[in-house]
Amino acid sequence: METKVMIPDQASLSLAASLLKDGRLVAFPTETVYGLGANALDRNAVLSVFAAKGRPADNPLIVHIYDRAQLPDLCTVQEKAVPLMDSFWPGPLTILFEKSEKVPDEVTAGLSTVAIRMPSHPVAIDLLKVSGLPVAAPSANSSGRPSPTTASHVFEDMNGKIPLILDGGSCEVGLESTVLDLCHGQPTILRPGGITKEMLESVLHENIMLAGSVLRPLAPDEKALSPGMRYKHYAPRASVTLVDGAESDVLALLPRLYEHEIAHGQKACVLCFTEHLPLLQNCDPHALGSKASPEEVARRLFSALRMLDEEGMDSVFSEVLPPEGMGLAVMNRLGRAAAFRIVHA
Ligand code: TXA
Ligand code: MG
């Protein structure tokens, strides 16, 4: 199959909408990462999303809408969700709702809840409006690869597998949406993202829990609150190790770890904050962004992880951020890329 990459305009958007109506897949930009969209009400279309990504069938998809008037068809809205939707939609917040009969089990992997979000990216909104459909869309990467934040990342993974990619440039947030569970007791963040725990708490006025697996691996006998947390994810082919501790100790240890790998014939590099580039000149440093801006690090992280593969890295050592605000989402993705391997300096 030929995969077209098109700049979004009236013609490409109407082509995209008619492909979706025909049960085909379209990759499109959102403010978080690119999504691989299918008509959420068409079982076969949804099944082809799993096939294109190589995604395990038990990992449910997020349904995207452009108007809250679409909700009653898809789910029951709990009261607590209302102030959150008022504050953070459209935007990078996904909320779980009890699903309606209409939502196929293929979307929710058999769960009774459906994850829904209203993206803010103008191209995503236009596509949803023109098609008039609820669109089920996981990130548009092959399963296990870092999520795509540019159309060329999508092309790397999906060339030949889907008919169309809408190229809307780089994604502003760069990490996937926050997934919030309001259906099972105390509100719980299943996946941290663009809307931080602090922002959610300021609206709900109660403590929000973090799923156990956000900053550590799932124990072998532990049930995943979100099926996606079970899988190896965001991982480049290189082995990634996080280095934490006092900044001066980290900056002293990184060159030693790097040199040890080089001495053993490995291709190695360091992921560091822009401020530390001059200090790590001899360690093939790759900048993650400024330490003062977790938002910048978030925006650049997945590109940086893909770059490691392109350069054929074997071993990568990375600085870490405090797990607060956007730093929590960054550390969740970096932690999983590193299979939670951490060295304390
Ligand atoms: O920012 C985003 O959320 C992007 C863009 C395209 O919108 N989408 C995205 O989708 O990241 P995906 O499929 O890569 O991640 C969806 C996550 C998975 O971890 C999945 O397990 C979880 O949401 N999820 C979906 N439905 C769920 C449900 N009913 N219960 C628990 N977790 C759910
Ligand atoms: Mg994904």
Q: Return d(Cα 240, Cα 316) in angstroms, integer.
A: 5
pLDDT (0 to 100) of residue 232: 59
Which residues contact ligand 1 via a Cβ below 6 A?
30, 32-33, 35, 59-62, 92, 94, 96, 108, 111, 113-115, 119, 137-139, 176-177, 179, 190-191, 226-228
Per-residue model confidence as pLDDT tens digits over 278-294: 999 999 999 999 999 99
Mean pLDDT of 216-225: 74
Mean pLDDT of 103-127: 98
Mean pLDDT of 134-150: 96
Amino acid at 37: G
pLDDT classification of 233: cutoffs 50, 70, 90: low
pLDDT (0 to 100) of residue 306: 94
Kindly report the protein residue whose alpha carbon is nearest to atom 15 of ligand 1: 138
Res 231 pLDDT > 60: no
Distance 201 CA to ligand 1 centre (A): 21
**Chain position carrying tokens 């449910």:** 60
C-alpha dist (Å) from residue 24 to 8, 44, 135: 18, 9, 11
Q: Return d(Cα 313, Cα 298) in angstroms, integer.
A: 21
Distance 153 CA to ligand 2 centre (A): 13
pLDDT classification of 229: cutoffs 50, 70, 90: low
- Greatest alpha-carbon span in the chain: 61
pTM, 2 dp? 0.96
Q: Is 113 helix (H, G, I), strand (E, B) or coil?
A: strand
Mean pLDDT of 264-274: 98
Res 127 pLDDT > 60: yes
Mean pLDDT of 22-39: 98
pLDDT (0 to 100) of residue 215: 86
Q: Is the peptide bond before 90 cis (omega within 30 degrees of 0)?
A: yes
**Chain position carrying tokens 């008919």:** 163
What residues are neighbours of ligand 2 (ion), with CB under 5 Å? 139
Distance 243 CA to ligand 2 centre (A): 25
Average the pLDDT over each of 91-105, 121-135, 211-225, 234-248 and give the range with the smallest value.
211-225
